[in-house]
Amino acid sequence: MVEYKIGTTLGGMTLLSSLATPVPWPRATFSMGERTTVASGAARDLGWMSAEWLFPLLTDAQRDQLRTFCTGASATVYIRTQDVDAVYRNYQAVLVWPDDEERRGGLVFDLRLRFRALVLQA
Amino acid sequence: MTRAITSDELNKIRGRQWTRWYAIVDAPNTIYSATASGSINKADWTIPFSGGSGTLSDCLADMTLLIGSSAGGWDRGVARLRKSPIAGTFYIGADDSLRCYSGDYLTVINDFAPSARHPVGESMDVDVAYVDQFSAFAPTPVMGERVAVIQAGQTIGFDASASWVIGSSISGYAWQFPGASNTSGTTTATPTATYNSSGRYRVQLTVTAANGRSSVGYGWVYVIGASLQPEANILVDKLEGDADRGWSCRVRMLDRPTIRDRARIVLYAEDYYGDEKISLGPSAGRENLLMIGWIIGETITRRPGSEWVEFDAGGPGGILSSLASLPAGLTDKRFPTDEAATLPPWARVQGLTISKGLHYLLHYRSTLPVVMDVEVEDWNWAAHKLTANADDLWGQLRDFAESGLLACLCDRYGHLYIQRDAALYPLTQRSNIPVVMTLSDADWHDDLSVRRRQMGDAALVELEGYVYANRKAIPTGGRSPGDQPASFGDVEGRSEIAWPNQTTALECAGLMAGALNAEYESITATLPANNRFIDVAPRQYLTVTVDGDAIRCIPRRVIYYRDEDGIPATTVDMEAEGGQWPAKAIEYPNESTPPIENPPTPPTPPPPPPGNPPPPEAPGTGNAVVVVVGDVRTTADLSATNPTWATETPPASGIVDSALDGTTLYLLYENGLWKGEDILATGAPSWTQVLSSGSYPDLASLKFLRVVATSVHGLIYVLGANGADAWFFRSASGGAAWSEPELIAAGAIPTSSQEYSYDGNCSLVSSYYATTPEAPLSPGGHPVNGPRATLLTANEMFAQAWAIYDIGRPLTLSSLTWWWHADGDDIVEISADGSNWTRIWYSRYSWASNIVEVRTQTFTPQTVRYVKFLVERVVGVGNRIDLAWFYFDGGPVYPTAIDAARTNPGWIYVGTQSKIFKSENGGFDWITLLSDRGANDIHVDPQLAGAVYAWDSNGNLVLIVAGVVTSVLDTETPTRKPLRLARDLNSGRLWALKGGTTLRMRNLATWTDQKTGLVGGRGLHAYLGQKLIFLDANNIWVSDDGGTTVTGKKGGWTGYASPINGHRMP
């Protein structure tokens, strides 16, 4: 079952489909950080976990709905998204709002929300 | 703080991780604000103020005072409160760049900044006079770490167990945690405090030393929460630490916040290992700390539409490099530079060592112990002088430290370590240096760069300096690998090192050569890890495997990175540990004394060469002065049958010795020397104190013991004691000026309890119906010098009998033990002056029993010189009182023997209980003349400076010539009373008061008893023509024929008692 959620608190997360202005499911990706190989050949993930939600097409109202969670360049939010194992987990994250939105005729194209510094929540 | 990483920590560091960095730019709250009512008074560095908001008593010494033209501003300057203010007056540190005008705003903020303290005149920090700061050293508080960043509700601990003090021990801790919700262990070294509310909290630690001194240090706890948030819009992506100056970083702030100059900055991290939020670091409770520093530079960048400011922040090395400081120098008190006699007290240190020098810079030339943890490794290297010519505090610390081959190293926490660098650490002790971790292939990525030496860096290492001992700085150095350099490299050298010995110089030269020529010059590794265990301080190792060999390496440069994705990295530049090369002592031909700026020439006057003696003043026929414990009297009528003695009313009772120089009389007390000129003039002289034990606070509990005037007018020698050490004081100007005290011998005076017995150390000075000696009655086993008895036999009913003993000098006693067999009312009294008695025991006789007992009576400690045993109402004719012995714990047996040659007053002899010492240069250098015996009285032959007579501690009157006991002239029961030997200039005769009971004259190897029946004889002086004067308990004895005829001259002096010394006058 699809469970993408967002909120300003952990307990206040809401399914995107249940927001006041429902938002469609995004195309989500997840990164465990930057992979580094040490001298022994072992791999190590460094840096924070990050996720990205890509919305190919939103209405202005849907975009504005998401914008309420990040009125500036970035904001701390809570999300529920799939990790690399396709398991839904809750995270605290810093939502970075894109600085180059493509908007035409009341529509927003390819809105890419980046969630950085993910911290897994119990 | 450093330690080895645990395996659990290592697993985390080798796993998935990220980090986020934060910064707190310190914004202290205002403690007190006021308005200046005038400008800075630069006479006493004060600022008058009026009005005022806040509690003035909250303004603490060393707090920061902002002076501004607007409220809270500091455009006029940032000052330091050098001490707590009083109403209307702020006391500030001297700084001529500060400005202040009437009406300016004065703001005391809740912070303490690293600052220099400057000498002003002969005071430090404007008005701190030297008192005893170099004898009772202040402790240095070390709080574990001074700063912590926690979340509300957390508990933080401190550990002050590394606090230190020179020459004492830490005896107490007193912590204050204002604002804490809960505390524990606030009087221990390891307290804790819990903070439930966010904010910035001051922590105060007062450490007290066993020597009574205390010091205060301050730390800060930043509790993150609603009331305290880290700076927003801040970017720090790199911290860098190097071994030379410690840690630094550049902080970019994306707007232009108002930040106080030189504000403290605290960088901390939020770290994740896997999904666990945890920080890892060496210091408990501070794992999240990245760096503590101060803003030391600022760059403002403006671009169209934006601007930002970048601050350079540095740790202790950075901020101290910016703190201007006047030159600093210290000289050992005993080092006889020409200047030493006039150096101000703040420039002279008794027993100067590197750590004492650093203590001076830390406590009195800076505020460092107040604001940061400083630990000094004490290798106890003695220095004759330390000089710091650097113009900043950091340079001065390094100058002093390098004199002891110490390095100044700072860690990320703002903790300053002054310690031996790992490369110069003795090989045999290197196992004590923590190995933080072994770097393996699981730890680095990219390249591991190993720079291998093809050629050594140092062909020759020369470390030169001095070994300072016995008042001489002897040039000492080590050269490695030897006189012939290695084939490659430069000549490396250091100078002015205060070596403890030649062996250490060789060791260190070899270690430095070994380090500079180690096979692996440097190894650089980049660790893709958030590894904050590695630091450039304190001393630590990492182990790296190169070509199959595990090499211990010293981190010299460490850089922590993080990028915008939270990716951490650590780069470490290491220096491979070196070995130890051979070394050879540097020879300094024709250098018996060190080639130093100020050759150790004794201060004035140089001792005159041996030669014709200055003839002693021939006594006239009629004048004399007699000194007793509480009185001084003169007569111009000594030839009279009953001379008249005029009182010269001394400054006080308690005289212990006297010396006559012409008509100037010197009276010695345990705490000072007084001078009375023209002693024969009508009326008592105007006594002037010319020497005071209080002038030597470095010599705690100093007592003066003997004074000698050598008949060279104005040349006065005083013998003193400080604990177990015997000291010598000299004035060549009649007491107007004194050279620095010279240590005759450390530990020369046994400080263990010393039992005195009446027959061994004391004289029977007065008695009634008492005889001594009698049959041995001591029960035995007690360490008395031969069992004797005083027998008191009553010849009538209810008779009285007594015996009064003179201990010989005032002692502070608190108990007395005696044995007696009494048949009467038994009374024991003690007295300081022989006149005023304190009864310590009274027992009324019971018909039913005789009293036979050993009794110890304790009493309030008081000065005692005389002990009286009194029996009243002896019951029955023929009944008797047997006093077998008494003894007491008299403390140290102080030396009483001193004399100087009349032919060369630079030759001086001193006897202690177990040794005899000699100086040939006016008391500047002392050698042990005899170590198999001490002496309680010494008399230098008036014609031969190398010949001395001494009542030695073995019970012999000996003649010592050129350091050899050539003759045993007489024997007596050991006694410690002086002033019983005399020889006149040309008669060849020697007189002695044997046992204090008999005047004996030795002529042509034959002794003749000239006068017997004396009681406690002392104060014997012989003059040209065999003229004598000596004293006993009952009379003043004078002879003009060598003792053939001895006449009592007490005359009309009623109350004569407690004799000290007699002098016949010109």
Chain B neighbors of A45, CB-CB under 8 A: 16
Inter-chain residue contact B16 with A42, CB threshold 8 Å: no
Residue with tokens 């994740």: B272
Residue B985 scores a pLDDT above 80? no
User: Residue B801 has which token pair?
Assistant: 């009998």
Report pLDDT for B269.
95
Report pLDDT for B596.
34
Residue B288 scores a pLDDT above 80? yes
Rounded CA separation B110/B683 (Å): 64
User: Residue B445 has which token pair?
Assistant: 């990525």
Name the 3-class secondary structure at B396: helix
Contact B377, B152 (CB under 8 A): no
Q: What angle do CA B264, B269, B273 make, to 5 degrees?
A: 165
Shortest Cα–Cα distance, B446 to chain A (Å) = 7
Which residue of A lies nearest to B562 if distances are taken between CA atoms? A47
Contact B141, B215 (CB under 8 A): yes
Residue B203 scores a pLDDT above 60? yes
pLDDT band of B697, cuts 50, 70, 90: confident
Mean pLDDT of B556-577: 93
Written as one string, the DSSP assignment of B523-554 is EEEEESS---S--S-SS-EEEEEETTEEEEEE
Inter-chain residue contact B272 with A50, CB threshold 8 Å: no
Mean pLDDT of B309-326: 93
Q: Which of A63-67, B595-599, B782-786 has the highest mean pLDDT?
A: A63-67
Contact B635, B624 (CB under 8 A): yes
Rounded CA separation B851/B800 (Å): 17
Kind of pairing, strands B716-722 and B688-692? Answer: unpaired
pLDDT band of B874, cuts 50, 70, 90: low
Rounded to a whole number of angstroms, the CA Rg of chain B reads: 37
Report pLDDT for B824.
62
Which residue of A lies nearest to B16 if distances are taken between CA atoms? A45
Inter-chain residue contact A48 with B18, CB threshold 8 Å: yes
Report pLDDT for B823.
60
Shortest Cα–Cα distance, B562 to chain A (Å) = 9
Shortest Cα–Cα distance, A82 to chain B (Å) = 16
Residue B193 scores a pLDDT above 70? yes
Interface check for B96 against chain A (CB to CB < 8 A): the answer is no
Report pLDDT for B873.
62
pLDDT band of A90, cuts 50, 70, 90: very high
Rounded CA separation B691/B707 (Å): 11
Mean pLDDT lowest among B309-323, B497-511, B693-707, B850-864: B850-864
Report pLDDT for B863.
83
Residue B724 scores a pLDDT above 60? yes
For the segment B45-92, what is each residue's pLDDT rounded down to a tens digit? 999 999 899 999 999 999 999 999 999 999 999 999 999 999 999 999
Which A positions 83-102 lie with beta carbon below 8 A of chain B? none
Contact B45, B65 (CB under 8 A): no
Inter-chain residue contact B566 with A38, CB threshold 8 Å: no
Chain A neighbors of B445, CB-CB under 8 A: 36-39
Residue B938 scores a pLDDT above 50? yes
Report pLDDT for B319.
94
Average pLDDT, chain B: 86
- A82 against B885, higher pLDDT: A82
pLDDT band of B539, cuts 50, 70, 90: very high
User: Residue A37 has which token pair?
Assistant: 């190989």
For the segment B1010-1053, what is each residue's pLDDT rounded down to a tens digit? 999 888 788 999 888 889 999 988 899 999 889 999 999 999 89
Rounded CA separation B800/B870 (Å): 7
Chain A neighbors of B20, CB-CB under 8 A: 48, 117
Inter-chain residue contact B444 with A38, CB threshold 8 Å: yes
Report pLDDT for B621.
61
Interface check for B684 against chain A (CB to CB < 8 A): the answer is no
**Within 13 Å of residue B900, how many CA atoms lie on the same side as its CB?**
32
Burial (CB < 10 A; 0-12, 13-18, 19+), residue A92, is middle
Which letter, b or e, does each residue of B420-457 get, where b requires 16 or more Cβ atoms within 10 Å of its Cβ?
bbbbbbeeeeeeebebbbbbeebbbbbebebeebeebb
Mean pLDDT of B154-180: 95
Inter-chain residue contact B568 with A46, CB threshold 8 Å: yes
Mean pLDDT of B671-697: 90
Mean pLDDT lowest among A117-121, B383-387, B550-554, B764-768: B764-768
Partner residue facing B567 (CB), from A39, A47, A120: A47
Report pLDDT for B601.
34
Q: Which of B14-18, B305-309, B965-969, B988-992 has the highest mean pLDDT?
A: B14-18
pLDDT band of A82, cuts 50, 70, 90: very high
Mean pLDDT of B184-211: 96
* Probe site for chain A from B254, B438, B445, B546 (most A CB atoms < 10 A): B445
Which residue of A lies nearest to B19 if distances are taken between CA atoms? A47
Mean pLDDT of B343-372: 93
- B320 against B469, higher pLDDT: B320
For the segment B113-138, what is each residue's pLDDT rounded down to a tens digit? 999 999 998 899 999 998 889 988 99
Residue with tokens 């010059």: B521
Inter-chain residue contact A44 with B16, CB threshold 8 Å: yes
- Compute the count of residue pairs across chains A and B with CB atoms less than 8 Å apart: 64
Rounded CA separation B969/B949 (Å): 9
Chain B neighbors of A39, CB-CB under 8 A: 441-445, 448
pLDDT band of B606, cuts 50, 70, 90: very low
Chain A neighbors of B563, CB-CB under 8 A: 47
Residue B536 scores a pLDDT above 90? yes
- B578 against B344, higher pLDDT: B578
Closest CA to B689 of B726, B718, B712, B662: B718
Partner residue facing A120 (CB), from B275, B563, B569: B275
Q: With pLDDT > 70 as the criterion, what percentage of chain B qualifies?
A: 87
Which residue of A lies nearest to B442 if distances are taken between CA atoms? A40
Rounded CA separation B88/B52 (Å): 9
Shortest Cα–Cα distance, B271 to chain A (Å) = 10
Interface check for A43 against chain B (CB to CB < 8 A): the answer is no
Rounded CA separation B994/B1008 (Å): 11
Partner residue facing B528 (CB), from A36, A50, A120: A36
For the segment B620-648, what is each residue's pLDDT rounded down to a tens digit? 668 999 999 889 999 988 888 889 999 99
Mean pLDDT of B227-249: 90
Mean pLDDT lowest among B134-148, B258-272, B555-569, B837-851: B837-851
pLDDT band of B770, cuts 50, 70, 90: low
Burial (CB < 10 A; 0-12, 13-18, 19+), residue B743, is buried
Q: With pLDDT > 90 as the criterion, what percentage of chain B qualifies?
A: 57
Chain A neighbors of B448, CB-CB under 8 A: 39
Mean pLDDT of B313-318: 94
Written as one string, the DSSP assignment of B849-896 is --EEEEEEEEEEEEEEEEEEEEEEEE-STT-EEEEEEEEEE-------
Which B positions 524-553 lie with beta carbon below 8 A of chain A? 528-529
Mean pLDDT of B993-1011: 88
The Cα diameter of chain A in Å comes to 55
Q: Which of B339-353, B394-408, B634-648 has the highest mean pLDDT?
A: B394-408
For the segment B906-926, what is each residue's pLDDT rounded down to a tens digit? 889 999 888 999 998 888 888
Residue A58 scores a pLDDT above 90? yes
Report pLDDT for B966.
85
Which residue of B lies nearest to A45 if distances are taken between CA atoms? B16
Partner residue facing B444 (CB), from A39, A41, A120: A39
- Crossing angle of helices B354-364 and B393-402, in 10° steps, is 170
Rounded CA separation B521/B554 (Å): 11
Residue B760 scores a pLDDT above 60? no
Inter-chain residue contact B16 with A45, CB threshold 8 Å: yes
Interface check for B185 against chain A (CB to CB < 8 A): the answer is no
pLDDT band of B860, cuts 50, 70, 90: confident
pLDDT band of B35, cuts 50, 70, 90: very high
Chain B neighbors of A34, CB-CB under 8 A: 565, 567
Interface check for B255 against chain A (CB to CB < 8 A): the answer is no
Chain B neighbors of A120, CB-CB under 8 A: 275
- The CB-based long-range contact list for B424-430 (8 Å cut-off, 24+ gap) reads B424/B508, B424/B511, B424/B512, B424/B515, B425/B511, B425/B539, B426/B507, B426/B511, B427/B511, B427/B579, B427/B580, B430/B552, B430/B577
Inter-chain residue contact A46 with B444, CB threshold 8 Å: no
Report pLDDT for B827.
82
Report pLDDT for B415.
96
The helix/strand count (H/E) of chain B reads as 6, 76
Residue B971 scores a pLDDT above 80? yes
Chain B neighbors of A47, CB-CB under 8 A: 18, 563, 565-567
Report pLDDT for B339.
47
Amino acid at B992: A
Residue B579: phi, psi to the nearest 5? -100, -150
Mean pLDDT of B28-38: 96
Inter-chain residue contact B445 with A37, CB threshold 8 Å: yes
Closest CA to B177 of B163, B151, B196: B196
DSSP H/E element including B267: strand B264-273
Report pLDDT for B891.
64
The Cα diameter of chain B in Å comes to 123
Residue B836: phi, psi to the nearest 5? -100, 120
Chain A neighbors of B526, CB-CB under 8 A: none
Which residue of B lies nearest to A74 if distances are taken between CA atoms? B233
Interface check for B18 against chain A (CB to CB < 8 A): the answer is yes
Contact A81, A52 (CB under 8 A): no
Report pLDDT for B753.
53
DSSP H/E element including A62: helix A60-67
* Probe site for chain B from A32, A40, A46, A85 (most B CB atoms < 10 A): A46
Interface check for A40 against chain B (CB to CB < 8 A): the answer is yes
Report pLDDT for B988.
74
The pTM of this model reads: 0.67
Report pLDDT for B952.
86
Interface check for B230 against chain A (CB to CB < 8 A): the answer is no
- B929 against B842, higher pLDDT: B929
Rounded CA separation A6/A67 (Å): 11
Report pLDDT for B745.
84
Interface check for A119 against chain B (CB to CB < 8 A): the answer is yes
Partner residue facing A40 (CB), from B275, B442, B566: B442
Report pLDDT for B113.
95
Report pLDDT for A94.
95
Report pLDDT for B343.
79
